[in-house]
Chains A and B, each alone.
Chain A
């Protein structure tokens, strides 16, 4: 796991980076899966991860933290709680009860869909999108679309890990991406 070049390194990051394990050939052969569950087994590393995001977003009038199912549910709520924002889960189809809006997005083969509750977000709200990792950016792009369709302003996307070679940053509709570490 490489820490970002050219950025003054927060002393907490190396421990966070080394707590993440790579699982080869998951979910299929050839993919080196970045597994954050080992980070969650290190209370100090997990707390530091959340603190790094909270320090960045406190006092910026963010009223919504949207977390992408499922690992965005682990990182998003602690951030939301600390900054006093609502937490909005963005879910796979048919999981959210009641009225939803849906956004399709493209996978390597086929498509998938992300849903958000109608009424969760009000026009003019300032939103943060949180997930554990950004790869191709397809999921984050769908998340941004859902929030914007509801009238929110997406201030930034926040992820623990970026896979920069997959160029997800370019798919975020011009929105900024903040990450803690890259993996090549």
Chain B
């Protein structure tokens, strides 16, 4: 787990990277799963991860933090609370009650779907999308589409970890991505 270039100078990133564990062959053989639960067991490292994002986004007039189920629901709310933004959960189908909009996206085999509440976001809202990790970028792209369909402006994507070899950045329509650690 390597510190991302942007954050190389910040002494907190090393502790964050070291707190993340890799679990081989999960959810299936051949996949080296980056497990952030061990980061959450380290209060100082978890605090530092949130602080690094909050410091970046304070004073940028971000009105919405959208977090992708499920691990984006862990990192997004503390950021939203600290910067005074609304928090919007983006969820798998049929989890959100009431009226939703849906966006399909491709998986390696088949497709999946992300939903957002109608009315959660207003046209002109400035949004941050948060998840624990970016791999292929499919989920983040679906999140961006939901927010843009509702008239929001996606300002940036924020993830703890990037798997750069999967080129997820290419799916973000040129929107910036901010990460704390890269993992190869």
Residues of A within 8 A of B (CB): 21, 23, 26-27, 33, 35, 37, 40-43, 46-47, 50, 69-71, 73-75, 77-78, 80-81, 84-89, 91, 94-98, 117, 120
Contact = CB atoms under 8 A, between A and B. Distances in A.
A48 to B, nearest CB: 11
Contacts of B117: 37
Interface residues of B, number: 38
Provide the main secondary structure of the chain A interface.
mixed
A120 B53 CA distance: 25
Interface in B88-103: 88-89, 91, 94-98
A43 B84 contact: yes
A96 B96 CA distance: 22
Interface in B43-71: 43, 46-47, 50, 69-71
A75 B76 CA distance: 11
B18 interface: no
Interface string B17-44: 0000101001100000101010011110
B127 to A, nearest CB: 13
Given A26-B98, A74-B77, A74-B87, A97 B41 contact: no
A77 B74 contact: yes
B74 A37 contact: no
Nearest to A70: B70
A87 B27 contact: no
B33 A81 contact: no
Given A37-B96, A40-B88, A46-B81, A98 B26 contact: yes
Given A94-B27, A98-B23, A74 B97 contact: no
Contact of B40 (A23, A42, A74, A88): A88
B81 A50 contact: yes
B122 to A, nearest CB: 10
B86 interface: yes
Contact of A47 (B40, B41, B75, B81): B81
A97 B43 contact: no
Contact of B98 (A35, A46, A78, A87): A35
